[in-house]
Chains A and B, each alone.
Chain A
Amino acid sequence: MANCLSSIFLAISVTTIVMPVTADTVSGMVYADGTALADVVVTATPSNYTGKAAQTETESVSMALDQKSREFVPHVLAVRTGTPVFFPNSDDIRHHVYSFSQAKRFELKLYKGTPKVPIVFNHPGIVALGCNIHDWMLGYIFVTDSPYLTKTDVFGHWSLELPKGNYQIVFWHSDSTAVSGLTGESIHVPLDRPLHHNLNLKARRQSGKPPNSLQVQGYKDGF
């Protein structure tokens, strides 16, 4: 988790370095029903931004999405378009990771260790990950053209270093009731106040974690 988060910050800092403009910190909190909400992807896109040009300015930093104790870690990974993602398997059992989301369709047969070749996410969109062996496993890769991206931590907190200007801020959460899970607003940087957002979540949610009883975890009737 920490490694992946640091990769995000690394990606952000790389972006920041190549843009020789002083940056201001914009931060905020995301809640759902008054409770801090983790794993909300936050992106900031300058209003005059043309994604393609900016993308060539940075080299893609590879990232990783692990499988630990039969769940995807992190549950949500935010990457820029074109980012290679490694899928290590830290469990000593097999995983069979797949996605048939339109943004990226792939299948990875994983047994111990890390595959040598990463999966490159070339199209923006939401990639839902599953495991053919463990039905409950669920993870997301949020692929975006935006140059600035981060995720809320367990306290619902996020922050981004943004150069002065106008931005479209977008929030995404897998269980948000908003269309495609996306909500947003326009801001001007510098901003002298934190941004507080409240998201409405679906009533029934999949955690992506193993069932909390071995009765259900240890059996598949095959249907």
Chain B
Amino acid sequence: MSMCQSIGRYELLVKIVLIGFSIPGEAKPDFLDFSVHGLLDLRYQNLDAQPGETEHGLGKFRSGGDNNRLLVNEASLVLQSRLGWDWSGTITLKYANKQYNPLDLSEIFLNYRPVSTSAWQISGRLGMFFPPISLENTGTAWSSPYTLSSSAVNSWVGEELRSFGGEARLNYQVDTGDRLGLFAAGLAKNDAAGILLAWRGWSLGDYEATLQDHLRLPENIGIRSQFPRQAILTQPFVEVDGKPGYYAGVTAERANLYSLRALYYDNRANPAAITNGQYAWHTRFYSLGLKAELPWDLTLISQGMSGRTSMGEMIDSKYAVDAGFWASSILLSKSFRDHRLSLRHDRFGTDENDYLPQDINREQGYAWTANYNLTLAKRHQFNFEISRIVSDRPARVSLSQTSQQEETLWQIAYRLFF
């Protein structure tokens, strides 16, 4: 009953927010109704890892240490409302451990999806939303039904990528049931994306940055001395140079059989620009993803990404930081009744071609993640997961660590979905 009361308060809040949007066409004041879903994520973790992002380190998990701990990892509310037959709105409000603002938005967008009675269908999104890269994070508040820690690619998408803008999609349904699509988006406020890939490198985690987030940069590896104008914390969602970016891509899918996505992203940032201690990082990449439902209730998800991020004034046709990055993963998951068993392999790396050899940003590594989860009464999910990352990052020598590190994270999670 108390949950209903608190949901009622959120509904009122969301009504106030959503009524502010002007919806064309048939929206009526009495049309507003809400679905409230959410996630509570409690963890017990056993760590054997170097300090991570939350400790300004170069570790490959979000946090490091050699200890056990119990924490409230995340609590999220997803409020969805229909604003007309063709329009809906989504707001995700999130608390996460060591989040900059204890309560902040991780997405807020309008979705336009009119019914089509022909083979052609259009749809769109407007607001702050995830670019369509991850094929894993299909659950409440962008959680994954397969693992606790996302793949390297999707961990980075969660930390640094969000579309602030509009996206349009055109689909064509073939008689065989396959749906082919084109999509494109114009976006802003994503000029800092890439900074973590260059200076910290890839990681495995499950943190989705929020609207006003500030993430931590590695310390004692020379960033402050070489880039004194850089703030200690990076703000993933800022507009630095006033230049909009874009992505565009293609999809092919058939319900319950396969989904294929390819996109090219370019934030078109001016690498020489800096505002309030935040550099613009010109980040562009290709992303490719395949999800296939195989016999015996096996699901295969494979994703790959390859791109570059560049920052600073150009001298002799080189930038101050210019890192190439790539990562790929393959996940196999088997569900049987309320149980699910998943195994994923990640490989990742970065290289560099810039005029500051003392700022070492190259790395390579791989990771294994195994997860078993049990979902009871549709809402209580118990997870057991082990992740192991082996990586080589020469910049660790500045921290008196060996370049090569093997890090392990055991996790037991209770996740409540409602």
Binding site for B on A (CB under 8 A): 93-94, 96, 98-100, 105-107, 109, 132-133, 135, 203-206, 212-223
| CB <8 Å contact, A214 and B109 | no
Known A96-B85, A100-B119, A212-B338; contact A218-B381, beta-carbon cutoff 8 A: no
Interface string of B139-162 (1 = CB under 8 A from A): 111110100000000000000000
| CB <8 Å contact, B78 and A105 | no
Q: What's the least CB distance linking A218 to chain B, in Å?
A: 3
| CB <8 Å contact, A223 and B117 | no
Known A109-B85, A132-B115, A215-B139; contact A205-B256, beta-carbon cutoff 8 A: yes
Q: Which residues of B contact A215 (CB under 8 A)?
A: 39, 139-140, 143, 145, 375, 381, 415, 417
Q: Which residues of A contact B37 (CB under 8 A)?
A: 214, 218-219
Partner of B78, one of A106, A133, A205, A219: A219
| CB <8 Å contact, A107 and B115 | yes
Known contacts A204-B256, A214-B379, A223-B169, then 20 further A-B pairs from the complex at CB < 8 Å, ordered by chain A residue? A94-B82, A96-B85, A99-B117, A100-B116, A107-B115, A107-B117, A109-B85, A132-B85, A135-B255, A212-B338, A213-B381, A213-B417, A218-B37, A218-B78, A219-B78, A221-B129, A222-B109, A223-B125, A223-B129, A223-B132
Q: What's the least CB distance linking B418 to chain A, in Å?
A: 6
Q: What's the least CB distance linking B153 to chain A, in Å?
A: 16
Asked whether B257 is an interface residue with its Cβ less than 8 Å from the other chain, the reply is yes
In Å, the complex CA distance between A157 and B3 comes to 46
Interface string of B163-202 (1 = CB under 8 A from A): 0000101000100000000010000000000000000000
Interface-centre pick from A94, A206, A213, A222 (highest chain B CB count, 10 A)? A222
| CB <8 Å contact, B139 and A222 | no
Known A204-B256, A215-B140, A218-B78; contact A96-B35, beta-carbon cutoff 8 A: no
Q: Which residues of B contact A222 (CB under 8 A)?
A: 88, 90, 109, 111, 113, 125, 129
Q: Which residues of A contact B173 (CB under 8 A)?
A: 100
Q: What's the least CB distance linking A111 to chain B, in Å?
A: 9
B138's nearest neighbour on chain A, judged by CB, is: A216
Interface string of B236-278 (1 = CB under 8 A from A): 0000000000000000000111000000000000000000000
Asked whether B406 is an interface residue with its Cβ less than 8 Å from the other chain, the reply is no
Pairs of residues from A and B, 9 with the lowest C-beta to C-beta distance, nearest first: A218-B37, A105-B117, A222-B111, A215-B139, A214-B417, A98-B115, A223-B132, A219-B140, A215-B417
Q: Which of B401-418 contact A (CB under 8 A)?
A: 415, 417-418
Partner of A218, one of B116, B256, B417: B417
| CB <8 Å contact, A220 and B90 | yes
Q: Which of B111-142 contact A (CB under 8 A)?
A: 111, 113-119, 125, 129-130, 132, 137-142
In Å, the complex CA distance between A133 and B125 comes to 15
B418's nearest neighbour on chain A, judged by CB, is: A214
20 A–B contacts from the bound complex (CB under 8 Å): A98-B117, A99-B117, A100-B118, A105-B118, A107-B115, A135-B255, A204-B256, A213-B145, A214-B140, A214-B379, A215-B139, A215-B381, A215-B417, A216-B139, A218-B35, A221-B138, A221-B142, A222-B113, A222-B125, A223-B130
Asked whether B80 is an interface residue with its Cβ less than 8 Å from the other chain, the reply is yes
Interface string of B88-119 (1 = CB under 8 A from A): 10100000000000000000010101111111
Partner of B257, one of A94, A96, A106, A204: A204
Q: Which residues of B contact A204 (CB under 8 A)?
A: 256-257, 293, 295
Q: What's the least CB distance linking B292 to chain A, in Å?
A: 10
| CB <8 Å contact, A206 and B378 | no
A101's nearest neighbour on chain B, judged by CB, is: B117
B144's nearest neighbour on chain A, judged by CB, is: A215
Asked whether B313 is an interface residue with its Cβ less than 8 Å from the other chain, the reply is no
Q: What's the least CB distance linking B232 to chain A, in Å?
A: 32
In Å, the complex CA distance between A218 and B379 comes to 11
| CB <8 Å contact, A94 and B33 | yes
In Å, the complex CA distance between A107 and B115 comes to 7
Q: Which of B356-405 contact A (CB under 8 A)?
A: 375, 378-379, 381
A212's nearest neighbour on chain B, judged by CB, is: B378
A94's nearest neighbour on chain B, judged by CB, is: B82
Q: Which residues of B contact A107 (CB under 8 A)?
A: 115, 117
Q: Which residues of B contact A218 (CB under 8 A)?
A: 35, 37, 78, 140, 417-418
In Å, the complex CA distance between A219 and B76 comes to 12
| CB <8 Å contact, A221 and B130 | yes
B84's nearest neighbour on chain A, judged by CB, is: A109
In Å, the complex CA distance between A223 and B179 comes to 13
In Å, the complex CA distance between A106 and B379 comes to 35
Q: Which residues of A contact B140 (CB under 8 A)?
A: 214-215, 218-219
Interface-centre pick from A94, A96, A212, A219 (highest chain B CB count, 10 A)? A219
In Å, the complex CA distance between A32 and B181 comes to 35
Q: Which residues of A contact B90 (CB under 8 A)?
A: 220, 222
Q: Which residues of A contact B142 (CB under 8 A)?
A: 219, 221
Q: Which residues of B contact A106 (CB under 8 A)?
A: 117
